[in-house]
A and B are shown apart, each in its own frame.
Chain A
Amino acid sequence: MNELAFEGHLISEEPYYEPAGSEIDIFEAAWRKGLPLLLKGPTGCGKTRFMEYMAWRLKRPLITVSCHDDLTASDLVGRYLVKGGETVWVDGPLAQAVRAGAICYLDEIVEARKDTMVVIHPLADDRRVLPMEKRGVLLTAGPEFCLAVSYNPGYQSVLKDLKQSTRQRFVALEFDYPPAALEARIVATEAGIDEALANTLVRFAHMTRKLKGNGLEEGASTRLLVHAGKLIACGIAPAEACASAIAQALTDEPEMLVAINELSASLF
C-alpha cells in the first residue's frame, strides 16, 4: 500500500513555469548547500508548479505531502504494519524521500499538527537526519535530498501560524500573484486562450483581489483564472465561466456572489 516507485515521481517533461524573480537561482543555491526552503504565498499563485519545475530542473523525484490536521509524525516517518502474522516496517513519504535523495514538499505545513512539525526539525538544520524513534535508527540525508515546505501567511489565524523554531530553519521564498502582464501570459498559455481575453481575466482577478478584506478572504488566484480560461476555451461564455470557475470558488455569500458576477458581467 505504501509502495512508491520513485521513477514515477521523476518529472520527465518540462513543466510550464514563468519566473517572477530570482527564485530559481535561490532555490538552486539553497539545494546545493543543503538548506531547506520555505515557500510563502497565497493559494494558487504557482508554488506547487514551481516545485515541479525545480524537481524537473534538478532531475530529482518530487514527493508531495499535503498536510492536514490529522497528519501524525508516523504518517510522515513510517510505521509498523502487520502482514501475515508479522510486523513489517513501512517507510513514510518523508523517510522514502530521504532514502531516495528526493525533494520532499510538505504543502500547507501549518495545517499539520504542531507536534508533527517537530519531526522535521532535525532534517531542517545542519544535522540533516531523520530520527526513526520506533526503529531506533537515524536516517541521514544525502546531498541530493531537499526539504521544502509551503505556507500561506494570509490566514492570519493565531492557531495557524508557524512557530519561530520551525520557521527560522528555512530559506524563505516569497510568492505572490505575478504582475499583470506576466499573469496574462501565464493564463493565455495554460488555458490556451488569446492574450486579450487573458488580459480581461486578469483585470477581473484584480477586482476580486481588491475585495480581499472587504468581504472576501482571498481574491481570485492565478489557478482560478486558468480554470476559467479553460472553460472559455471550450466554448463557455466568459461571464458564465467566471461565475462557475471563480465566483463560486471564492465565496458562498449570496450578496458577494451577485457582486462578483456583476463585476465580470461588466467586463466581458
Chain B
Amino acid sequence: MAPRKKIWITRDYMKCSGCRKCEIACSLYHEDKIWPEASRVRVFMSVPGAEVPHLCVQCDDYPCVESCPFKALSVSEKTGAVLVDETKCTGCGICIDACPGKIPHLHPSRKRILICDLCDGKPECVKICQEGKWNALGIVKRRGSAASMKAYARTPEEITRELVVNLYGEKGEELL
C-alpha cells in the first residue's frame, strides 16, 4: 500500500465563533452555491454560544460504509474520507442511522447523502477558519488507531450537553 498522508479535522467547539463561514466555504466548493443545509459541515446551535460545527470524523470501522445496502459509500484510499457515489445512493438514510453521531444528511433537493469528503485532502472549511484565526477547525496528521476519533462521532445534542457545561458551568444545564 502506498504511504498515506491522511489528515483529520480537529474541532475546538469552544473557539467556534458561529460565523458559519465553514458552511459558506463548503457549499460553495461542493455545490457552487451558498447553501447552509447542503454543506457537509453545519454549525448547530441549540443553545446560543454553544456552536457545534458538525462533520464526519472518519471512524476506523466506517459503520456508514458498512451499512450501505447499495454500496454507494466507499473510503478514499488517499484521504480516508467517505466518498458518496450519487449514482448508487438512493437516499434511504440507513447510513444516517448507522452513524453514532447522525452526521450524514440528505441533500435538500437531490435527496442523496452528504458526507464530508475532506475536499480531497485540503478542506475548505479549515482554510477559512484558520485564515480568520478562529482555529475552531484545524488539521492534524492522522496516525495510528482511529478509535478516539470515533468518540467524536456524537450528535449535536450530545456535544451541546457537554459544551454548555464547559462554557456556562452549572448554569449551562439549566439552558438545555
- Chain B binds chain A: no
Interface residues of B (CB under 8 A from A): none
Interface residues of A (CB under 8 A from B): none
